[in-house]
Chains A and B, each alone.
Chain A
Amino acid sequence: MNILGIETSCDETAASVVADGRRVRSNVVASQIALHRAHGGVVPELAARGHVTAIIPVVEAALGEAGIERAGVDVVAVTEGPGLAGALLVGVNVAKALAYSLGRPLVAINHLEAHVYANWLMLPVDGTSPVAEPPPAFPLVCLLVSGGHTELILMTDHGHYRHLGRTLDDAAGEAFDKGARLLGLGYPGGPVIQRVAEAGDPTRFDLPRAWLGESYDFSFSGLKTALLRLAEPYRLPPSLEPAPTVGPFPEHQAAAFAPDAPLADLAASYQAAVVEVLAVKTARAALEFGAKTVLLAGGVAANAALRTCLADEVARRCEPELGPVPVRYPPPALCTDNAAMVAGAAFYALRRGAQAGWETDIHPRLRLTGT
């Protein structure tokens, strides 16, 4: 069964064809990062406008790369939320009209669920058939971390979710964006902090960890205040600073630092503080609920420090009681927003009878709950 997935919830226009929920036949993503970089963040109206002109070429490229005609699409799947309203509108209405005109079922997918299902996908290796990996075993704990989300999810079967925790303020990816902005490193923050941190000492600076007691919730807002305080002594005096970059966001001004400023150590210490709380809470949840698999999902799942730290914590905390618990994460191209994950999730949703009608709406504030 070929499912065409469409994803426009934020700043990526994406379309993909996935066979039987797992085999990625094409995965096309048109990124607007360059457009939003000038503003230091995603501008919702610009994102929506971008989707309108990107959507047809992206869908056609996804069909072309998969080597199928329109008639070869068996199901159309689309992200219904959460996301930016103006952006979601484009994908949902295009997908509905496409499914309607092809006479095919439509499936509306929760973007958070789609991120989790990226872990079921198999990418072709060198154009040949993909390495067949067994699907993740239930029950599983999934840490979904990106610029928009930080969610800890318990999944006991397909479509059965329990929300264990979420961020109370900034998402993990947002924390990286803000940290990178404070250090004058650029946007998006996650990849640039990881790169700069490679040469740094993560133990040099002591940054706070918000444990919030036994809760599985997260908080990162105090961290950036602490980083600002630590970085302050190394900032150049205002008179020597170059004119700030013109940008609409108040924080979007390149910080100027003395040449001997320990930016790598600051970045490494900051990254370690974000990653440690994520990894420890995920491992704790895996132990409490007897997880057979631990999954990472979302753009921040591409962070190498998070992967290492999570693997260490899961081995240390879970293995003595549960035996080895595999920690899995999607390939980088499937961590960030894409439509393959939407098409993949739709396969399992359709098996549960989750077909959408022509009156399907967008759900900008959708959460992942229930069965």
Chain B
Amino acid sequence: MSTSEQPREDRSWLLAIDSSTEQAGIALTDGLRCAEQTWDAGRAQTTALLAEVDHLLGLVGIDLSEVRGIAVATGPGTFNGLRVGVSVAKGLVLGLGVPLLGVPTLDAAALPFVTMGQPVVAVVSAGRGRLVWAPYGVQSGGWRQTAPPRNGLVTELAADLVGRTTRSIVTGELNPGQEDVLGAIPGVSLPARILRLRRPAAVAELAWARFRSGDADDPVVLEPTYLHGVRISQPSGLGGDV
């Protein structure tokens, strides 16, 4: 990391948070430099996330007051994982009085491969073996999602990929069984697992341009993307299951 040309008081950092899945991550960027951390949080995002934010700020040597914007991955993903990230982001926005920017998790997953000259299918785990995926490609000069996200088992993703006429890069978190199924499909290239790991720096990168232009989301209404509805299974009293 080189020393900044800017006077120190002008430094303006964006903090990005992604807890969409058990693979959690945070990143800091000032548009040029970037620090990021990603780890397998399991279901312990609540205990880890803020402590790791504090740690990363210390590592980079910046003060919380230099964080002028918060970006958060909005899903799809696991409901409780997404809620942790969005809640931490809202708490920071409340306390710091800075703008909040939501970034779709599938966009962040696709970003590292969208300029490779091939269509990309980005995949995010939604828990309990279910996957959410969407195709990305270059259209009218820029890359974008070319069809709405779908949600299903790996066999349904495989059927979707078999039906595609072009070669595709498939990226995102997959377990070994899912890798076997998808890797066997002709025309599908599956980059190395570490390259398919979703990166919080991608969330920061995608939010940065909007942040610099003064754009932001309404922090009140920002909420996770829920790709399926509420399963109502058990009654409970006014006090819930406590």
Contacts and interface: CB of A to CB of B under 8 A. Distances in A.
Contacts of B238: 10-11, 41-42, 146-148, 173-174, 177, 188-190, 299
Interface string A132-176: 000000000000001111000000000000000000001101100
Contacts of B96: 101
A335 to B, nearest CB: 12
Contacts of A10: 238-240, 242
A100 interface: yes
Given A90-B83, A358-B54, A97 B90 contact: yes
A258 interface: no
B240 A42 contact: yes
Nearest to A89: B83
Contacts of A94: 87-88, 90-91, 94
B87 A102 contact: no
Contacts of B53: 100
Interface in A328-370: 357-362, 364-365
Nearest to A63: B94
A70 B86 CA distance: 20
A45 B231 contact: yes
B240 A39 contact: no
Interface residues of B, number: 44
A170 B232 CA distance: 20
A44 B235 contact: no
> Interface size bucket, A side?
35 or more
A251 B236 CA distance: 11
Interface string A165-206: 000001101100110000000001110000000000000000
A76 to B, nearest CB: 9
A42 B236 CA distance: 6
A96 interface: yes
B180 interface: no
Classify the secondary structure of A's interface with B.
helix
Contacts of B90: 52, 55-56, 94, 97
Contacts of A92: 46, 87
Contacts of B237: 41-42, 147-148, 170-171, 173-174, 177-178
Contact of A43 (B86, B89, B230): B230
B47 interface: yes
A41 B234 CA distance: 9
Given A10-B242, A149-B242, A89 B80 contact: yes
Given A59-B94, A82-B242, A53 B220 contact: yes
B104 interface: no
Interface string B196-232: 0000000000000000000000011101101000111
A266 interface: no
Given A81-B242, A101-B91, A147-B239, 6 more contacts: A43-B232, A44-B241, A89-B87, A90-B87, A94-B87, A148-B238
23 contacts: A40-B235, A41-B236, A41-B237, A42-B240, A55-B87, A56-B93, A86-B80, A92-B46, A93-B91, A96-B50, A96-B88, A97-B88, A100-B91, A101-B92, A101-B94, A147-B238, A173-B238, A173-B239, A248-B232, A357-B51, A360-B47, A361-B47, A364-B241
